[in-house]
Amino acid sequence: MKFIDEYRDSATIRSLLAQIGSEAESGRTYRLMEFCGGHTHAFYRYGLLPLLPLNVEMVHGPGCPVCVLPISRIDAAVALAAKEGVIFCSYGDMLRVPGSDGKSLLKAKAEGADVRMIYSPLDAVRLAVENPEAEVIFFAVGFETTAPATALALKQAAAQQIKNFFIFCNHVLTPPAMRAILDYEDGEQACSIDGIIGPGHVSAIIGSSAYRFVADEHHIPLVISGFEPVDLLTAVLMLVRQINAGQAVIENRYRRAVKDEGSPQAIRLMDELFELRGSFEWRGFGMLADSAQKLSAGYAAFDAELKFDVSYEDAVDHKACRCAEVLRGQIQPEACSVFAKLCTPENPLGACMVSSEGACAAAYSYGGGRS
């Protein structure tokens, strides 16, 4: 398949690995964070981690929008789904995430809630049209890659004057999360990152300049990467080079999909339909200012949080769950004492083990997951 197979070419991969091996200086460690959960998944799926030199370590970032949602919002989603007359639409990823007492959307479905898995927010709009007597709620989750799709669906619903379509908006933003990781660095439990692999498709939307603060304020290099093994290894190589040269520059190595200015159309659309929340709770980071989106005032009629009586009970993670530390890159999944023992994809204690972009799920499914 074009634009996929070329970036999985064995010879190129071996070539890049050899180059990384020769340029990574012995006696020096390179702690690189791949911010994006999709990148984490790809590293594990292609078995790249054991092939990197021992002194190049990948630290997994919090770029998993399913994983960073706090339990209170999962509980709110489950409560919405259970309401009489509601059709609750969600991406497949969210269905097994455990809320309080392990209650998930899938369990709610088994208990009679009308929960539907959809592939696109446009499908939820269609469901609203096809089921005029029901109230269709779309569980909008995702970083900036996914938010434009929600915005398009919302725009469509508004244009068609659909009265029974609502969005439970949980879109979060990448730069604030990256800041939170790097600021955590400066505190006591620093995780000392030397370089960052920047998200691929988020960057296609927000562009490369959004990360300038990483280089300017923290003097850490960032290389934007695609998702194929060749892309990831290129990014690793470029980071090693920058680190060796003492450089800190934002590099775009996914030029076939990412323009430096991002997607002005998508940004404009989101500006029109969404507005910033003052603050939002993130698993692993607590409350972060200006880090999430909600529907803008003009679209209040579609906001599920306004239409339904959504309350947020303070809820805590399972006491053995260390998702927060995994999300901050402070521990690897295997360091969590319940990893692969009490906490497995069949019985997840936290979201990191159930989202397929979660670091724990990737580690468990693809390797290193045996106790």
Partner 1 sequence: MRRKLDMEHGFVDLSFGAGGVASAQLTREIFAPEFSNPILDRMEDGAVIDMPAGRLVVSTDSHVISPIFFPGGDIGSLAIHGSVNDVSMMGAEPMHMSVGFIIEEGVPFSTLKRIAVSMGRAAREAGVSIVAADTKVVKKGEADQVYITSTCFGVVADDVAIGADRARQGDRVLISGQVGDHGAAVLACREELSMKSDLQSDSQSVSDLVAAMLASGVDIHCMRDPTRGGVATSLNELATTSAVGIEINEAAIPVNEGVRAVSELLGLDPLYFACEGRLIAICAAEDADTLLACMQHHPKGEAAAIIGEVTGNGDIPLILRSAFGGSRVVSVLTGDQMPRIC
Partner 2 sequence: MCLAIPARITAVHDNHMATIDLAGVEREVSIELVDAGVGDYVIVHVGIAIATLDEEEAKKTLAMFDELAELQSENQSEGPA
Q: Which residues pair with 188 in a beta bridge?
A: none
Judged by CB under 8 A, does residue 64 bind partner 2? Answer: yes
Write the DSSP assignment of 268-333 as a string of letters.
Answer: HHHHHHEEE-SEEEETTTEEEET-BEEE-GGGGGGBHHHHTT---------TT--HHHHHTTSS-G
Q: Using the minimum distance from each CB to partner 2, give the nearer residue, 40 or 318.
A: 40
Out of 55, 100, 120, 330, the residue judged to bind partner 2 by CB under 8 A: 120
- Per-position b or e across 136-161, b if 16+ CB within 10 A of its CB: bbbbbbbbbbbbbebbbbbebbeeee
Alpha helix stretches (DSSP H) within 24-130: 37-45, 71-82, 105-110, 121-130
Instruction: Give yes or no for a contact between 168 and 76, defined as CB atoms under 8 angstroms apart.
Output: yes
Q: Using the minimum distance from each CB to partner 2, give the nearer residue, 219 or 259.
A: 259
Angstrom distances, CA of residue 7 to CA of 186, 224, 240, 241, 289: 36, 15, 20, 21, 38
Out of 24, 59, 108, 141, the residue judged to bind partner 1 by CB under 8 A: 141
Judged by CB under 8 A, does residue 145 bind partner 1? Answer: yes
97 touches which of partner 2, partner 1, none (CB within 5 to 8 A by kind)?
A: none
Judged by CB under 8 A, does residue 311 bind partner 2? Answer: no
Out of 58, 113, 205, 352, the residue judged to bind partner 2 by CB under 8 A: 205
Contacting partner 1 within 45-74 (CB under 8 A): 45-48, 50-51, 64-66
Out of 23, 57, 123, 325, the residue judged to bind partner 2 by CB under 8 A: 123
Alpha helix stretches (DSSP H) within the chain: 10-23, 37-45, 71-82, 105-110, 121-130, 147-159, 174-186, 201-206, 212-218, 229-244, 264-273, 304-307, 323-327, 359-366
Contacting partner 2 within 5-34 (CB under 8 A): 6, 9, 11-12, 15-16, 18-19
258 touches which of partner 1, partner 2, none (CB within 5 to 8 A by kind)?
A: partner 2
79 touches which of partner 2, partner 1, none (CB within 5 to 8 A by kind)?
A: none
Judged by CB under 8 A, does residue 149 bind partner 2? Answer: yes
CB of 233 to partner 1, least distance (A): 10
Out of 279, 296, 330, 356, the residue judged to bind partner 1 by CB under 8 A: 356
User: Token pair for residue 20?
Assistant: 């990384």
Q: Which residues pair with 264 in a beta bridge?
A: none
Q: Give me the residues that bind partner 2 (CB under 8 A), please.
A: 1-4, 6, 9, 11-12, 15-16, 18-19, 36-39, 63-65, 91, 119-123, 142-143, 145-146, 148-149, 152, 199, 201-202, 204-205, 230, 234, 253, 255-259, 263, 265-266, 269, 357
